[in-house]
């Protein structure tokens, strides 16, 4: 449904999106994950035809977004980070307006409008002015305008930003209900959001794709234990010595030494670490076990540590 090839976008000297490529199939639910400023929003704007790339190609359902924009955009529903709402309109009038903008046929307009209202839970506020709605309901209206054309592709840019915990939960459940028949891209910097909704993950950092994987594959590493080691002094020699200890599979240094290991060799590994500490006259300040989280994996990827 979505084919992206060598996409690049610059703002002056800043390369916001740097030669990225990926493809998504029908029904894929993908988390587009990255830190703030990674290039997520710029990519979403290009995919939806709101922004032209400097180079590269985007095809939506086989249509080139630049050569056949009308055909491509008919397949897309888009919720930008700031929903495009008009405060002086009622919810009903606004959805009528959006339906006309999207050139929805008159014989389908009422049924599609009713579908959007029902799926987004807007029945109670249907006749109210948008300016009188809570942040959560305003976000619901934003999602309703994205799905009113019953799109095959739904692109959501930071859909829960600025919401309170109750509203976040409600919007998350709403989004989950919209998946299944649609290809969904959820752009966010909130890792938990991805785990609750998505099947696949694309991690972008500094304009480049740092990782693409299924969520199952990425989370298969979560829950494993690692040793956290802090020594008084740091050196490359220590890192190399730790890597040579039998039973240690990986070592990642970020302030402390984070050590992935074979659990059945834990005691011997601790003895060997103690031996290195004594030999180098470098006292151990901390030695403990912690569990690897999905956040740890995310940080590892965006900071360039690509070990398995």
pLDDT in tens, 209-242: 988 988 888 777 666 788 999 999 877 788 899 9
- If asked whether residues 261 and 191 sit together in one domain, one would say no
Residues 73 and 210 in one domain: yes
As a whole number, mean pLDDT of residues 135-141 equals 94
HSE-CB at 104 with a 13 A cutoff on CA atoms is 24
Last residue of a domain, one of 218, 244, 267: 218
pLDDT at 308: 44
Q: Tokens in use for 85? A: 């709402």
d(CA 46, CA 51): 5
Predicted local confidence at residue 222, as pLDDT: 67
Q: Are residues 92 and 143 in the same domain?
A: yes
At 168, list the tokens.
């976040």
| Res 3: pLDDT | 95
Is 271 inside a domain boundary?
yes
Please, are residues 261 and 242 in contact by the beta-carbon 8 Å criterion?
Answer: no
Question: Same domain, yes or no, for 31 and 170?
Answer: yes
- Is residue 152 domain-shared with residue 277, that is, in the same domain? no
How many domains does the chain divide into? 2
Q: At residue 163, does pLDDT exceed 90?
A: no
Whether 58 and 196 map to the same domain: the answer is yes
Count of other CB atoms within 10 angstroms of residue 304: 9
The 8-class DSSP code of residue 90 comes to: B
Q: Which two tokens stand for residue 302?
A: 């965006």
Q: Are residues 197 and 79 in the same domain?
A: yes
Q: How far is CA 105 from CA 61, 147, 211, in A?
A: 21, 15, 41
Question: Could you list the residue range(s) of the whole structural domain that residue 194 is in?
Answer: 2-218
Asked if residue 302 belongs to a domain, the reply is no
User: How many other CB atoms are there within 10 angstroms of residue 153's CB atom?
Assistant: 23
Which tokens is 36 given? 């703030």
CATH of the domain at 231: 3.30.70
The residue among 38, 39, 48, 30 whose CA lies nearest residue 175 is 30
Whether residues 153 and 284 share a domain: the answer is: no
Angle ∠(170,172,176) on CA atoms, nearest 5: 115
In this structure, is residue 99 part of a structural domain? yes
Residues 149 and 77 in one domain: yes
Of 171, 190, 218, which residue constitutes the final position of a domain?
Answer: 218
Identify the DSSP state of 242.
H
Rounded Cα–Cα distance for residues 24 and 36 (Å)? 23
Distance CA 129, CA 89 (A): 5
Look at residue 143 and tell me whether its pLDDT is greater than 60. Answer: yes
Whether residue 304 lies inside any domain: the answer is: no
In a domain, 145, yes or no: yes
**Domain identity same for 57 and 197:** yes
At 128, which CATH number? 3.40.50.300
In a domain, 266, yes or no: yes
Within-domain flag for 41 = yes
How big is the CA angle at 119 (ends 115 and 122), to the nearest 5 degrees? 95
Strands 14-24 and 183-188, by their bridges, are unpaired
Asked whether residue 67 falls in the same domain as residue 198, the answer is yes
Per-residue pLDDT tens for 16-29? Answer: 999 999 999 988 99
Task: State whether 211 and 277 are in the same domain.
Answer: no
247: left (phi over 0), alpha (psi -120 to 50) or beta: left
User: What mean pLDDT comes out for the span 152-158?
Assistant: 94
Q: Residues 117-131: what's their mean pLDDT? A: 95
In a domain, 308, yes or no: no
């Amino acid at each position: 449904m979505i084919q992206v090839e060598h996409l690049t976008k610059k703002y002056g000297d800043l390369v916001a999106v740097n030669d990225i490529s990926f493809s998504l199939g029908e029904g894929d639910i993908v988390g587009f994950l990255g830190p703030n400023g990674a290039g997520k929003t710029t990519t979403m704007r290009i995919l939806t035809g709101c922004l032209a790339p400097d180079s590269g190609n985007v095809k939506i359902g086989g249509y080139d977004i630049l050569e056949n924009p009308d055909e491509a955009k008919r397949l897309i529903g888009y919720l930008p980070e700031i929903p495009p709402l008009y405060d002086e309109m009622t919810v009903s009038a606004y959805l009528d307006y959006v339906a006309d903008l999207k050139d929805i046929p008159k014989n389908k307009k009422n049924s599609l409008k009713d579908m959007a209202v029902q799926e987004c839970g807007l029945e109670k506020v249907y006749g109210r002015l948008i300016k009188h709605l809570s942040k959560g309901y305003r976000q619901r209206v934003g999602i309703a305008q994205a799905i009113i054309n019953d799109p095959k592709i739904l692109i959501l840019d930071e859909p829960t930003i600025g919401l309170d915990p109750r509203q976040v939960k409600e919007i998350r459940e709403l989004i989950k209900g919209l998946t299944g028949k649609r290809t969904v891209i959820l752009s966010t910097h909130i890792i938990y959001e991805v785990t609750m909704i998505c099947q696949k993950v694309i991690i972008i950092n500094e304009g480049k794709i740092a990782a693409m994987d299924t969520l199952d594959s990425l989370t298969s590493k979560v829950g494993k234990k690692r040793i956290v080691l802090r020594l008084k002094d740091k050196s490359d020699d220590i890192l190399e010595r730790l890597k040579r200890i039998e039973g240690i599979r990986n070592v990642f240094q970020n302030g402390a030494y984070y050590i992935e290991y074979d659990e059945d060799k834990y005691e011997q590994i601790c003895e060997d670490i103690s031996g290195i500490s004594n030999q180098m006259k470098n006292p151990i300040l901390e030695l403990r076990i912690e569990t690897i989280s999905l956040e740890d994996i995310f940080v590892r990827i965006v900071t360039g540590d690509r070990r398995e």
